[in-house]
Structure 1
Amino acid sequence: MALGATLIKVLNKKYALSQMVEQKFKGYDLAFKTDEEGNAILLFIGQKDETGNVRGERYARRIVKDKEGVLVKDHWDFKGKAT
């Protein structure tokens, strides 16, 4: 599953700092970890199993800023199956 524009829009919002956030999105269960600035950096998307873990796919976000803090690079990489 490729990350679509509407999902990217949800992930680009600011959330609680250094937390694991769980939500529903178009029939999928999302679980994502945030960094110290509230940006989503690790995403699990799929269906929750009986233990509460999301089974599906895993993505990691790469955020690169220059010395002045200006955003240089921001993209999501597919990291494989989430089991």
Structure 2
Amino acid sequence: MWKKVDDYSLNFHNQPRRAAVHLKLDDGTKAVMHHLTIQELHALGDLLRAEPNVWYHTLRGDLVAHSAPDSEEDLD
């Protein structure tokens, strides 16, 4: 199910070296995208900063920038 991203934090942990994006979704739930490379963290950070509408798929873990969907199928 697609949920709009309301807020986020980018996290880099030095020991062990790993990166993650923590998301706060519009229904108050949270999601984490774990085990990212520094390049992936950078790209996702750019997307989250630049795009006004970002959506997260709670089952697949997908992240997309898209205007508000009319239905679930619009972002599949």
Same fold, TM exceeding 0.5? no
Compare relative contact order (CA 8 Å, sep 6+) and give the higher one, 1 or 2: 2
* TM band (smaller chain): 0.3 to 0.5
Q: Which TM-score applies when normalising by structure 2? A: 0.35
Higher strand share: 1
Higher helix share: 2
Q: Which TM-score applies when normalising by structure 1? A: 0.33
